[in-house]
Chains A and B, each alone.
Chain A
Amino acid sequence: MSASDDSELVQRAKAGDDDAFARLASQYRGRITATASRYARGRPELEDLVQDIFIRAWKGLGKFREDAPFEHWIMRIAIRTCYDFLRRHRRRRELEILSDDPIPDRESFATGPANEDEELRRREAWEIVQRLLEQLGEKDRVAVTLIDLEQRSVKEAAALTGWSESNVKVRAFRARKRMQELYRNLTPRD
């Protein structure tokens, strides 16, 4: 969909046309869901988070001045909503980490059969990474997710979060170090 199509839908949505907003939401649902899935645990949480992002966008549509593409604007809302979501659920996650099953064994994962289904291996890798991410602070988690997992540039991550570029760099670096350390600790020492 072109920027002019977006602009037309935005204008209509601003004027109170809910169908236009629903079309915008359908258009960006995939990208928003992919981003939100880096922060949510499980399907119900993901559904709620994606809904919250679009509701926040709907409420804030009147303030969208269209000096940037709609995609940039809604991605900023998505990242901020995900960050708020992490903060809101911090306590619950801490309790879950204490009570959950241990992180999957790094060695058993690495030595799986060579012909193992690739998607299964990806999912297992994602589960390990997710558990590592959950042991980080919210800001560090957002920074490392944007830079390492979504492979965004520092400049882009700074624009999405509203933090300075140096702040993003420092946070991503610190989070990466911490995750590497946690991952190393998964290997049983001889």
Chain B
Amino acid sequence: MNYDDLIDLARQHEPGGSLPGFETRLRARISELRQSEDASRVFSLWLWRASWGLTPVATALTVVLFVFHGTSIPDGADSILHHLAAYLPGLSL
């Protein structure tokens, strides 16, 4: 048999056939993907909201730490933080 006849014969073969359980499996995979997508979306949303909620707390904490730390540095006696700390009530330098 020559090459062209071989290709012609091979072309007529339909190896596909039916795929039992195709739709069930596809639906299961889609549902799985949807669930993981939902979980990831919820987590991202939570992270985003939590990060915004924590922002004022984190900012206040940073300022307080800077101020207190600034008063304890001898070399920083002329720093802005040092002068700023002098205005805070109850704080001795």
Do A and B pair up? The answer is yes
Question: Could you say which residues of chain A place their CB within 8 Å of the CB of B17?
Answer: 33
With both chains docked as a complex, state the minimum distance between the C-beta of B44 and any C-beta of chain A, in angstroms: 18
For chain B, the bracket of interface size reads 20 to 34
Indicate which residue in A22, A109, A122 contacts B27 across the interface (CB closer than 8 Å). Answer: A22
Verify A33–B16 contact, CB threshold 8 A: yes
**Contact string against B for A residues 90-129, beta-carbon threshold 8 Å, 1 for contact and 0 otherwise:** 0000000000000000100110000000010111011011
* A129 touching B1 in the complex, CB below 8 Å, given contacts A51-B26, A55-B30: no
Question: Could you say which residues of chain A place their CB within 8 Å of the CB of B26?
Answer: 22, 25, 51, 54-55
Number of chain A residues close to chain B: CB under 8 A = 39
**Contact string against B for A residues 17-28, beta-carbon threshold 8 Å, 1 for contact and 0 otherwise:** 010011001100
Within 8 A of B (CB), among A24-38: 25-26, 29-30, 33-34, 36-38
With both chains docked as a complex, state the minimum distance between the C-beta of B18 and any C-beta of chain A, in angstroms: 8
**Contact string against A for B residues 3-35, beta-carbon threshold 8 Å, 1 for contact and 0 otherwise:** 100110111111111010011011101110110
Give Cα A36 to B26, complex, Å: 16
Within 8 A of B (CB), among A139-178: 148-149, 151
Question: Could you say which residues of chain B place their CB within 8 Å of the CB of A184?
Answer: 3
Give Cα A46 to B19, complex, Å: 9
Question: Could you say which residues of chain A place their CB within 8 Å of the CB of B27?
Answer: 18, 22
Verify B7–A149 contact, CB threshold 8 A: yes
The reply on A86 being an interface residue by CB < 8 A is no
The reply on A79 being an interface residue by CB < 8 A is no
Indicate which residue in A18, A119, A121, A149 contacts B30 across the interface (CB closer than 8 Å). Answer: A18
B residues contacting A by CB (< 8 A) are 1, 3, 6-7, 9-17, 19, 22-23, 25-27, 29-31, 33-34
A-B contact pairs, 17 of them (CB 8 A): A18-B31, A21-B30, A25-B26, A29-B19, A33-B19, A36-B16, A46-B16, A46-B19, A47-B22, A54-B26, A55-B26, A109-B1, A110-B1, A125-B9, A149-B10, A179-B3, A180-B3
7 closest Cβ pairs, A-B complex: A125-B9, A122-B13, A33-B16, A126-B13, A110-B1, A129-B10, A125-B10
A residues contacting B by CB (< 8 A) are 18, 21-22, 25-26, 29-30, 33-34, 36-38, 46-47, 50-51, 54-55, 58-59, 106, 109-110, 119, 121-123, 125-126, 128-130, 148-149, 151, 179-180, 183-184
